[in-house]
Chains A and B, each alone.
Chain A
Amino acid sequence: DADVTQTPRNRITKTGKRIMLECSQTKGHDRMYWYRQDPGLGLRLIYYSFDVKDINKGEISDGYSVSRQAQAKFSLSLESAIPNQTALYFCATSDYGWSQDYGYTFGSGTRLTVV
């Protein structure tokens, strides 16, 4: 099994619908992140969580919410999806502080299309 698992892998939804993207990890990391990737813009941080009770907004949090259900689970919700939220979404995890062995561990991504 992958260290960081995102579900679904692909999703098409209609404008105005609520949708949840899920992320679970087996790394045992405290810190989890949601990024979105758009062509030419790289990855931009939506929300991040340093532990179950610590959730923070990133640079583009408007229109999104998150839930940290457990150390291993971090979900991203679009309350009312709009077409410009069409993107590739990545979940990532990291250990406390900067590990000398690796930075982030990424999931394989969720490709979301809002029509």
Chain B
Amino acid sequence: DGGITQSPKYLFRKEGQNVTLSCEQNLNHDAMYWYRQDPGQGLRLIYYSQIVNDFQKGDIAEGYSVSREKKESFPLTVTSAQKNPTAFYLCASSSDPGQDYEQYFGPGTRLTVT
């Protein structure tokens, strides 16, 4: 079964700690994306990667970092510099960002920072 997984589903952290959210896909997709969703709002793009070892900032990259060392994996680190880290985080992938625009989303990770 091909798909995209995120873990954990719920994550709790103390303020000032960095936290890394996992995203793995076995769809052989080149492109991967991270979004955050806040209550009553749409999805906002944090970072995206169109190929291994390359990634680009999205609209709200400040306070976040990513890596793309493997095609299957695109972990997101929420650093202590992120002012409002509590949100629902969604990872997505797509096969060819230039031709196939459909994204496949993971189930999401709800991060709560107190």
- Is B one of A's binding partners? no
| Residues of B near any A CB (own CB < 8 A) | none
